[in-house]
Chains A and B, each alone.
Chain A
Amino acid sequence: MYTHGDRWLDHDAGPVVRPYALTGGRTRPSGESIDLIAMVSAMRGLSPDPMGLEPEHIQVLRMCRLPVSVADLAADLDLPLGVVRILLADMRERGLVMIHQPVPTRLSDPRILREVADGLRRLL
C-alpha cells in the first residue's frame, strides 16, 4: 500500500520518475504549443555554455543542427514526447533553438497535396 512519503518509490511509478526529473517535475511545456511534426533547428553561431545544460540539452542541440522534427527527436532520444516538448520549450526560451510550426493541411496550398500524392506514387 502507498503511504504518503513513499508513493514515488513504488516500482509502478517506474519510468515516470526519471524523464520528469529532467523537467523539474513539470508535465506541461511553457509558451506556444509544439506540434509533433514541428521542425526544430539549433540557433547557429552559438557557443552554448555547458553550465546549466543537461546532457539531453546538448544532445538535442547536436541533433538539430539541421532541422529535425519533434517526433524524430523523441524517437532518437528515446524519451517520451511530453518530456521532449518541455526540454524544447525551455531551450526556445533560452534562445538555443527555433521551432517552426507546421501549416495545418486544411490551410495548405492544394499543390502540396498533389506533390505528396505524386511523391508517394514515384517513391513506393
Chain B
Amino acid sequence: MAYAGSYRDGGPAARDAYPAAMPVTVKILIAGGFGAGKTTLVSSVSEIRPLRTEESLSEPGAVVDLTDGVERKTTTTVAMDFGRITVRDDLVIYLFGTPGQKRFWFMWDELALGALGAVVMADTRRLADCFPSVDYFERNRTPFIVAVNCFDGAQRYHPDTVRTALDLTDDVPVVLCDARSRASCRDVLVALVENALQLLTGSASYVTPAR
C-alpha cells in the first residue's frame, strides 16, 4: 500500500488515531458514450478494478427503463471502472469511469461533487453519444475536456471541427488521443488538470458549483 509510514507512533494519544499525514485525494471522472474508450483509458494509466454501486431508482423514467417487469425492485446495480494513481504517498488520484447515458445522471451528481474534473471520451463515428456528458458537465460547472479517441480506421477530424460539432465554448479543450496508449492518456489527464488549474486560479467567469 502507498500509505506506509503515515501513522504517528503510539503513545498517549494513539487512541485518537490521527494519522500524521492523511493522503490528499482527488477524483477525476471519465465519461462518454458506450464503447468510446472509457475503460481502455482507465486501464492504460492505472490498475483498473470494477466498483459496484447499488442505487435506488427514484425517477419514474428510470424504473421503466431498467426494471421492465420487476416493478417492485427499487435498486439496480451499476458497475463503474475504478482506477488509482498514487502520485506520492500523500497524493492519490482516483479515476471513475461512469456510464454516459442520461439515466445514470443520478450517479454523477455524487461523483461530480468535489471532483477535479472530467474527461469526456468522444468517438467521431458516434459523436452524439457524448452529448449527454457534455451537457451534464456544462450545467454542473465541472471542469471538463473532450478527448477524441482516434479509433483505427475512423476518419480523423481536426479538434476545431469536433468543437464546432459539439458546440463547445472556447475554454473547453479538445484533444485527440489513443486510449490504448499510456502516454496519450497521460497527456489527456494533464490537459484536464491544467484546465482545472486555469479555471481555479484565472478566470472570474468560473462559477463555483452550488452543490
Contact = CB atoms under 8 A, between A and B. Distances in A.
Interface string A52-83: 00000000000000111101101100111111
B52 interface: yes
A66 B3 contact: yes
A109 to B, nearest CB: 9
Majority secondary structure, B binding face: mixed
Q: How large is the interface on A (under 10, 10 to 19, 20 to 34, 35 or more residues)?
A: 35 or more
Interface string A39-52: 10111111000000
Contacts of B73: 12-13, 16
B3 A120 contact: no
Contact of B96 (A36, A110, A123): A36
A2 B72 contact: yes
Contact of A45 (B4, B10, B51): B10
Contact of A67 (B3, B117, B200): B3
Contacts of B70: 10, 12
13 contacts: A16-B73, A41-B19, A44-B7, A45-B15, A66-B7, A68-B1, A69-B94, A78-B52, A102-B27, A104-B115, A106-B200, A110-B197, A114-B197
